[in-house]
Amino acid sequence: MKRNNSAGNRIFMALVFVFLYAPILLLIVFSFNAGTSSSVWKGFSLDWYGKLFHNRIIMQSVYTTLLVSFLATIIATFAGTFAAIGFYAMRRRVREPLMTVNNIPMMNADIVTGVSLCLFFVAFFTFWGDFARWFNGVQSFIDLPVRLTMGFGTLLLAHITFNIPYIILSVGPKLRQMDKNLIDAAQDLGCTWMQAFWKVIIPEIKPGIVSGALTAFTMSIDDFVISYFTAGSSASTLAMTIYGMTKKRVSPQINAISTLLFITVLVLLAIVNIREARQERLRASRL
Amino acid sequence: MKHKLSRFAIPYVIWMALFVVIPIILVVVYAFSSASGGFTLENFSRLGTYTVVFTRSFRLALIATLICLLIGYPVSYMMSKEGPRFQRIAMVLIMLPMWMNFLLRTYSWMSILENNGLLNQLFQKIGLIALYNQVFGTDLTFFRMLNTQGAVVLGMVYNYLPFMILPIYSVIVKLDSSLIEAARDLGANTFHVFRRVILPLSLPGVLSGITMVFVPSVSTFAISKMLGGGTEMMLGDLIEQQFLGGAYNPQLGAAISLVMMLIVVACMVVMNRFGEGEEQAVML
């Protein structure tokens, strides 16, 4: 098993990576194109980057995408970590059906999740309209809005809903790996159970929380289908803006903004990886 | 201690009830309702008129899944044989494309496959098109690649290949190497080790990989629209049309969604039968 690959195998792997990265490379290259075409090279230029920052639609959708992804990741990480701990403490008989429900948004086709949430929000708004009309009729102190529509709020709710399962799936195994005696030991040494929670459990499962949050954020950024069904017409993520453009012609400004986002992530990941490698080497040299 | 902690899950259980269970119940209710609100089975009987779309979706998704498996399994296996440093970087590289929105990556394929796109330009330069014309006696100026079913399959393979590699890899990499050594000691050659030890043990990863590629492939609507040119309508397009498109009919859309959910449930049942692979697999 530990034997290395033959040259042929390595070439195969390299080809797969070329397949995965060629279109991305192409997008990046053509963000520097002087012409508008995405297949004919007209010379180097930074025009699209300059124009990008004056394009209100694109900047607004980038802002929406980042905001919804950040908020959804933060909320989902909190909620998911607590839920994972709760699940861990449950009896198997109670936990298993709940875990099945938890897996639904992950296993289900995105379009089904999107459609079901869309139906839910519409049904809720109808219900709310009736309620608000009744409520405004019987009293005159508070005036509830009668017409609610899908927008940033529903988008955020949808993102939180599909993010939490990833957190739970990443935190759960870390909890099961944890030595159960640690909690008892902490309590024997005088911790209240709240202290035991913050000082023992959380540090133990931190790697799971971090990788879960990272996955959730990636999923939020990459999502198009669920957002498309839950954002209504008032909010638009970058993916939705791109989709609107693909019907005609995608502006190279989109290439430019995607390049910027991609390079940012690349640099961040490189830093994290180099730091991890360095820490590992340090740990190894100490031993 | 443990008992108290289980309360932590209560908010999320309520959340799931609201945003997972009730929406799905709504889909079921809609699927069995007529436009005026009464109970009906008409939505399902109307599905028969879309048999073409169903078979096309299934065929293309199955082909894409098979190709993903044929590429993804060897890659995962080879990756697991490399050093830890290589493995970590390779994992990051496989996740990384997801940071560029999939619509954009798919759009990039459009400019590669176009009639005057990059591939055709390349074929022209190296004389492949001229050669083809000579051999087959045709007078093509380009190969038609965009707006074909092949392009749709390519788009699916491209977008969902990581979902095949990651679960298989995560199962193979955790295989107990002493099992392989034992098999060797007992006289198995490389082929037999693979066939009798590695392959059966990696089956859970393979199954979840298949599910994770098949489900999004069969339900896609953006890829088929972009690379299929709107002529190759798939189930996803059909659903989208019923909700946001011209043919507004949420009841019919819900019925198709319900069928799709049943497909997913079937996949999950198969997976659960064959082991506990899904957990480490879904976690990228």
What is the per-residue pLDDT for A171? 92
Residue of B150, B158, B163 whose CA lies nearest to B227: B150
- Whether A64 and A235 have beta carbons less than 8 Å apart is answered as yes
Residue B276 lies in a domain: yes
Q: In percent, how much of chain B has pLDDT > 70? A: 95
Q: Which of A109, A193, A255 has its CB closest to that of B260?
A: A109
pLDDT of B155 > 70? The answer is: yes
Residue B31 lies in a domain: no
- Whether B87 and B80 have beta carbons less than 8 Å apart is answered as yes
What is the per-residue pLDDT for B147? 87
- Residue A242 is part of a domain; what is its CATH number? 1.10.3720.10
3-class DSSP state for residue A41? coil
Give residues 113 to 152 of B whose Cβ lies within 8 Å of A: 114, 116-118, 121
- For residue B39, the cross-strand partners are B33
Residue of A171, A200, A96, A177 whose CA lies nearest to B1: A200
Q: SS3 string of B71-122?
A: HHHHHHHHHHCCCHHHHHHHHHHHHHHHHCCHHHHHHHHHHHHCCCCHHHHH
- The ranges of chain A with pLDDT < 50 are 1-2
Residue B26 lies in a domain: no
Residue B241 lies in a domain: yes
Q: Which two tokens stand for residue B211?
A: 């599910």
Phi, psi of B33 (to 5 degrees): -110, 150
Interface membership of B108 toward A (CB under 8 Å): yes
Residue A188 lies in a domain: yes
Q: Do B1 and A184 touch (CB under 8 A)?
A: yes
Domain count, chain B: 1
Dihedral sign, Cα of residue A5, residue A10, residue A16, residue A21: positive
Residue A183 lies in a domain: yes
Q: Do A20 and B162 touch (CB under 8 A)?
A: yes
- For residue B114, the cross-strand partners are none
Q: Which of B9, B78, B116 has its CB closest to that of A86?
A: B9
What is the per-residue pLDDT for B283? 41
Tens of pLDDT, residue by residue over B125-142, are 888 888 888 888 888 888
Residue of B221, B217, B206, B224 whose CA lies nearest to B264: B217
Q: Give B-chain residues touching A185 at CB under 8 angstroms.
A: none
Which of A217-231, B148-162, B231-245 has the weakest average pLDDT?
B231-245
What is the per-residue pLDDT for B280? 44
Chain B closest-CA separation from residue A68 CA (Å): 15
Domain count, chain A: 1
Rounded Cα distance between B143 and B114, Å, is: 9
Residue A41 lies in a domain: no
Global pTM reads 0.88
Rounded Cα distance between A187 and A236, Å, is: 49
Could you tell me which residues come within 8 angstroms of residue B66 by beta carbon, excluding any fewer than 6 positions away? none
Q: Do B19 and A161 touch (CB under 8 A)?
A: yes
Locate the chain B residue with the closest alpha carbon to A248: B226
Interface membership of B283 toward A (CB under 8 Å): yes
Interface membership of B270 toward A (CB under 8 Å): no
DSSP state of A73: H
Rounded Cα distance between B226 and A245, Å, is: 11
- Whether A257 and A238 have beta carbons less than 8 Å apart is answered as yes
- Whether B234 and B57 have beta carbons less than 8 Å apart is answered as yes
- Whether B193 and B183 have beta carbons less than 8 Å apart is answered as yes
Q: Band of the pLDDT at B276, cuts 50, 70, 90?
A: low
Residue of B4, B137, B260 whose CA lies nearest to A104: B260
Q: Which domain holds residue A151?
A: 56-250
Dihedral sign, Cα of residue A75, residue A78, residue A81, residue A83: negative
pLDDT of B63 > 80? The answer is: yes
Residue A38 lies in a domain: no
Tens of pLDDT, residue by residue over A166-219, are 999 999 988 888 888 888 888 888 888 788 888 888 998 998 999 899 889 988
Give the residue from A107, A160, A227, A279 with the most B CB atoms within 10 Å of its CB, the best one to mutate.
Answer: A107
What is the per-residue pLDDT for B89? 87
Residue A281 lies in a domain: no
- Whether B28 and A112 have beta carbons less than 8 Å apart is answered as no
- Residue B176 is part of a domain; what is its CATH number? 1.10.3720.10
Residue A274 lies in a domain: no
Residue B23 lies in a domain: no
Could you tell me which residues come within 8 angstroms of residue A249 by beta carbon, excluding any fewer than 6 positions away? A36
DSSP string, B213-257: HHHHHHH--HHHHHHSTTTS--HHHHHHHHHTSSS--HHHHHHHH
Chain A closest-CA separation from residue B240 CA (Å): 8
Interface membership of B269 toward A (CB under 8 Å): no
Interface membership of B279 toward A (CB under 8 Å): yes
Residue A256 lies in a domain: no
Rounded Cα distance between B242 and B220, Å, is: 15
Q: Give A-chain residues touching B181 at CB under 8 angstroms.
A: 1
Q: Give A-chain residues touching B250 at CB under 8 angstroms.
A: 119
What average pLDDT is seen over chain B?
A: 87
Q: Which domain holds residue B150?
A: 41-282
Q: Which two tokens stand for residue B214?
A: 């098949």
Cα B76 to Cα B54, B192, B208, B277, distances in angstroms: 31, 19, 14, 15
**Average pLDDT value for residue range B72-88:** 90
Tens of pLDDT, residue by residue over B17-40, are 999 999 999 999 999 998 888 898
What is the per-residue pLDDT for B156? 95
Chain B closest-CA separation from residue A141 CA (Å): 29
pLDDT of B278 > 60? The answer is: no
Residue A225 lies in a domain: yes
3-class DSSP state for residue A81? helix
